[in-house]
Amino acid sequence: MIIEDDTIICNELSKLLENNNYETVILNDFKNAFNEILEASPDLILLDINIPFINGKTLLQNLRKVSNIPVIMVTSINQETDEALSISYGADDYITKPYNPTILLLRIGAVLRRTKTNYNTNANLFTYKDLEFDITKGTIKKDNIEITLTKNEIIIFSYLLNHQNKIVSRDELITAIWDTADYINDNTLTVNINRLRNKLKEIGYTDAIDTRKGLGYILS
Amino acid sequence: MNIGAYLKDNLYKFFAFIICYVFNLLIFFAFKVGKQVILSSTFLYLICFFLILFVPYFRKKKFYNDLLANISLLDKSYLVLETLSKPEFYEGELLYQALYEINKSMNENVRLIEEHLQNFKEYIEMWIHEVKIPLSTLVLISNNHKEQFDTKTKLQLKRLEDYIEQVLYYARCENAEKDYLIKEIDLSKVIKNVGLKNMDEILENKINFIVENVQYQVLTDSKWLEFILGQIINNSIKYKRDIDYSYIKITVEEQEEQTTLIIEDNGIGIKESDLKQVFDKSFTGENGRNTNQSTGMGLFIAKNMCKKLGHKIDIKSKYNEYTKVSITFAKNKYYDVLK
């Protein structure tokens, strides 16, 4: 759910999220924000601090009294005090405008995964065709063959898997890896992708990752 | 109060005394007064003269001496009036009153200017928050329509954002009011955020971003530190050399009393003659003239912010070899005890 008073930003944001396989709802009536949220009961809320009628922080405080819906604060105020305050009111993350869209998506993914693991122990298990991918263990498994992936390969594979059948740009992959603090360059990414390809080949998935020249990669 | 200068200033009293005395003598002679009377009246004359000359000197001396001494002692000499007690002679009272009025009107003036400044700062902050909204929209639009907008757009948007941030932090650090929050933060997290922010430019310029052993906690404001680091890394990108292997290397050295963050690059470096001035406002130096992209504000703001946060920032460089910036964070023992 997106709570934001600027309609253009709202639409672009929802387009971005829908392009990445999320369903979005936009809050319409700020006067009735609280009830509208509870009615929609979203998996996650992107909340702007400066919204009409009710301050984002107050809304968050009220919401926390009745609900644990994950909230990411999105704001143009880049200040430590503000961030500390938002977190203390119960925000799960805090992102400042203008944000890098890839990073926003990564944060959303991280918050969702963190909150989902509370109910569902299998949130770290993914499947690709008949292959099992365990993020926490960093392994891919088919039948009885298990292959361990390196940290960067895990990130690349899970990112591709989350965007299956969509073109993923090299930029996005590098951003995802930098986000876990491994500052690789262009060449290293190529090396990592090739290694991942070879490992997939070993268990019978030849050409799973396709190169689209000038655009990026695609996992089919 | 200098006695010589005082006497010189009162020269007219000598003349008045001598003229009066000469006339008096003439009168005494005209009336044929006896020697005894002349001598005793001369004696009285002299006593009167010295009293008239020196009593005012001693009355005024304390007030003026205190005034001058306190002015030179105080580092804010406009506060001198507060340190003086009201003088007990007429001239002094006038001066005191005048100073008091001047002070008052100046205070009012200063207050007005401060108010203007504060209003302006608030307006700038608000404006920056406002302008970030269309900027974020642009970023999103360019991301959603990748086929129409390439990396060039992205880099220009980033430049726009950088300049906007610079104004924000300039407004913040130039102001007396406290806009930061110091707490224990993880250096690696700050570096990650700065890295991600500048990732496109770093990759575009084929620079290797090397970060080694930065898992340290320091006491600072993470947003401010992110900005400071951003300025330094921006410079490293801007002033890279045309060579096969460029790098920006970030490391941490920990000593007993302090932690030092070091950002090193193998860019064009800074000429020794320019090195001392790089933190000065609007200084661009030889590098700035050559690339035509310098505002000379980045390092100036960074230095000011470091000063406010209590960090030390240093720069070393060799022309055509390297530039090395270090930021030193003091460790707070008191804080450790509290933990």
ipTM over 0.85: no
Least confident interval from A164-168, B57-61, B247-251, B310-314 = A164-168
Element housing B247 (H / E) = strand B246-254
Cα dist. A126→A140, A210, A218 in Å? 9, 20, 17
CATH classification of the domain holding A40: 3.40.50.2300
DSSP per position, A111-165 = HHHHHHTTT-GGGGEEEETTEEEETTTTEEEETTEEEEPPHHHHHHHHHHHHTTT
Least confident interval from A129-143, B9-23, B270-284 = A129-143
Per-residue pLDDT tens for B29-42? 898 888 888 889 88
SS3 B31: coil
Statement: residue B265 has pLDDT above 70: yes
Q: Residue B335 in contact with residue B219, Cβ under 8 Å? A: yes
Same domain, yes or no: A139 and A109:
no
Same domain, yes or no: A133 and A209:
yes
Per-residue pLDDT tens for A208-220? 888 888 788 888 7
Whether domain B180-338 has CATH 3.50.50.60: no
| Contact at CB, B146 and A169, closer than 8 angstroms | yes
Statement: residue B333 has pLDDT above 70: no
Backbone angles phi, psi at B315, to 5 degrees: -135, 135
Mark out the alpha helices in chain B (DSSP H runs): 3-9, 11-30, 35-73, 80-83, 90-144, 151-173, 187-204, 222-238, 272-275, 285-291, 298-309, 333-338
Contacts of B100 (CB under 8 A, 6+ apart): B81
Percent of chain B with pLDDT over 90: 22
| Contact at CB, A186 and B203, closer than 8 angstroms | yes
Same domain, yes or no: A77 and A19:
yes
From the list B139, B195, B223, the residue facing A178 with the nearest CB is B195
Statement: residue B163 has pLDDT above 80: yes
Q: Residue B136 in contact with residue B111, Cβ under 8 Å? A: no
CATH classification of the domain holding A179: 1.10.10.10
Among residues A70, A93, A116, which one ends one of the domains?
A116
Q: How confident is the model at residue A162 (pLDDT cuts 50, 70, 90)?
A: confident
Same domain, yes or no: A101 and A128:
no
**pTM strictly above 0.80:** no
Per-residue pLDDT tens for B292-332? 677 788 899 999 899 888 899 999 999 888 999 999 998 87
The domain total for chain A is: 2
DSSP annotation of B266 reads: -
Cα dist. A146→A105, A133, A154, A199, A203 in Å? 30, 10, 14, 10, 9
DSSP annotation of B319 reads: T
From the list B132, B141, B211, the residue facing A97 with the nearest CB is B132
- pLDDT at residue number B315: 92
Statement: residue A52 has pLDDT above 90: no
Statement: residue B131 has pLDDT above 80: yes
Q: How confident is the model at residue A182 (pLDDT cuts 50, 70, 90)?
A: confident
Q: With an 8 Å Cβ cutoff, is B136 touching chain A?
A: yes
From the list A100, A185, A186, the residue facing B196 with the nearest CB is A100
Same domain, yes or no: A139 and A184:
yes
Phi-psi region of B251 (alpha: psi -120 to 50; beta: other; left: phi over 0): beta
In chain B, what are the domain boundaries?
3-85, 112-179, 180-338
Instruction: Tell me the mean pLDDT in the region B97-115.
Output: 93
Going B156 to B160 to B165 to B166, the CA torsion angle's sign is: positive
Q: Residue B331 in contact with residue B260, Cβ under 8 Å? A: no
B 145-164 residues inside an 8 A Cβ radius of A: 146, 157, 161
Statement: residue B111 has pLDDT above 90: yes
Same domain, yes or no: A129 and A205:
yes
Statement: residue B102 has pLDDT above 60: yes
* Å between A98 CA and nearest CA of chain B: 4
Q: How confident is the model at residue B225 (pLDDT cuts 50, 70, 90)?
A: very high
More confident of the two residues B177 and A24: A24
Contacts of B122 (CB under 8 A, 6+ apart): none
Per-residue pLDDT tens for A90-141? 888 888 888 888 889 888 888 888 877 655 555 567 777 778 888 778 888 8
Backbone angles phi, psi at B270, to 5 degrees: -130, 135
Structural domain of A202:
122-219
More confident of the two residues A143 and B166: B166
More confident of the two residues B146 and B281: B281
Instruction: Tell me the mean pLDDT in the region A157-179.
Output: 86
Same domain, yes or no: A45 and A10:
yes
* Å between A126 CA and nearest CA of chain B: 27
Contacts of B279 (CB under 8 A, 6+ apart): B299, B300, B302, B303, B313, B315
| Contact at CB, A9 and B133, closer than 8 angstroms | yes
Statement: residue B75 has pLDDT above 80: yes
